[in-house]
Structure 1
Amino acid sequence: MATKILLPIDHTDDRSWKKALATALEQAKFYGAELHAVEVIPEIIQLPNLPEGYGSGAKDYVRGKVEAILAANDAAYVPVHIEEGSVYREILKLAHKDGYDMIIMASAKGDFPNYEIGPNLARVVRNAHCTVMVVRD
């Protein structure tokens, strides 16, 4: 039984959330669980030629994009977390720290037998302390 569900989203790729969001909403309703969304911004590399403060405002921009996706799918009430760093590490850290007992992630469709399971999804599945539901496209 799930009481707290985490849904990683990449606002730049609707395959990361389109089907998974619907599944997460169903699971949250079925279990009476809290649903939270997270997007991880990859670490911004500090190169000497980048201006000071490069990337400031990125979290607010991404939060707005994720909130718009949720609102357009009747899920505006879902809390949004924006993390920065390694995608799979930040998902795992958040899930462990905040006591999530289920993570729902999407996997893009590939041709049999090569279903597309990217490195972030594979690492989350292998290392999560909780149940991980993979939603196939």
Structure 2
Amino acid sequence: MPRHILVAIDLLDSDCWAMLCPEIRDLVKPDTHLHLMHVVPEQKALSPLAQFIPEGFEDAHRAESHKALELLAEDLPKGTDVHFHLRSGNVYVEVLEAAGKLDVDLIVVGSQSPDLKDYLLGPKAARIVRHAECSVLVVRDKGKT
């Protein structure tokens, strides 16, 4: 059983935690160290309009993200050793870098259900699976077809 688990959570996707939480509850044991991580996209990479984003926006977004991670942790079994990580940059790069630094046994990521035309993982999940040096659990959203 994995003892150090990194869960990549997209706080901008309201269904993400609902999809991942049941899987995480099944994985968490008394000696598990759970790392919940959200990557804040770099504003400059998001849009040519990034120059119009007010100063302090990224800091405010980080503070709100940390509060959201704390709320998510309340759904976990009491006594779970939870660590919060907020990073900025490219999602798959940051997840892989954190996994290496934290020496995790397992990375948990979500993936949308494929539609009839596409049976591939999303690009972020696929890159994490391809390049991770540990096991990766990809949780599909069973509620969507």
Does the pair score TM above 0.5?
A: yes
Letter in structure 2 aligned against 1:74: L
How far has the Cα of 1:109 moved from its partner? Answer: 1.4
Q: Provide, for residues 83-106 of structure 1, a one-character-per-residue CA deviation record: whole Å limited to 9, x for no partner.
A: 111111000000001101100111
User: Structure 2 vs 1, CA of residues 25 and 55 (structure 1 numbering), >3 Å: closer, same or farther?
Assistant: same
Flag structure 1 segments of 5+ consecutive residues without an equivalent: none
How well do the aligned residues superpose, as a CA RMSD in angstroms? Answer: 2.3
Specify whether residues 106 and 28 from structure 1 end up closer, same or farther in structure 2 by C-alpha distance, changes over 3 A only. Answer: same
Tell me the amino acid that sits aligned with residue 93 of structure 2. Answer: R
Moved more, 48-57 or 11-20: 48-57
Matched residue, 1:24:
24
In structure 1, the residue matched to 2:76 is 74
**What secondary structure does 1:2 align onto?**
coil
- In 2, the alpha carbon distance for the partners of 1:92 and 1:16 equals 19
Asked whether the 8 Å contact 2:111–2:121 carries over to 1, the reply is yes
Aligned counterpart, 2:40 = 41
Partner residue of 2:88? 84
**Structure 2: gaps spanning 5 or more residues:** none
Cα distance in structure 2, aligned partners of 1:19 and 1:51: 33
Q: Shift of residue 130 of structure 1?
A: 0.4
Count of equivalent residues? 135
Q: Please report the TM-score for the alignment, with normalisation by the length of structure 2.
A: 0.80
Partner of 1:58: 61
Once the two structures are superposed, residues 49-70 of structure 1 have per-residue CA deviations (whole angstroms, 9 ceiling, x without a partner) of 4444442222111111122222
Structure 1 match to 2:9: 9
Q: Secondary structure at the match of 1:114?
A: coil
The normalised TM-score by structure 1 is: 0.84
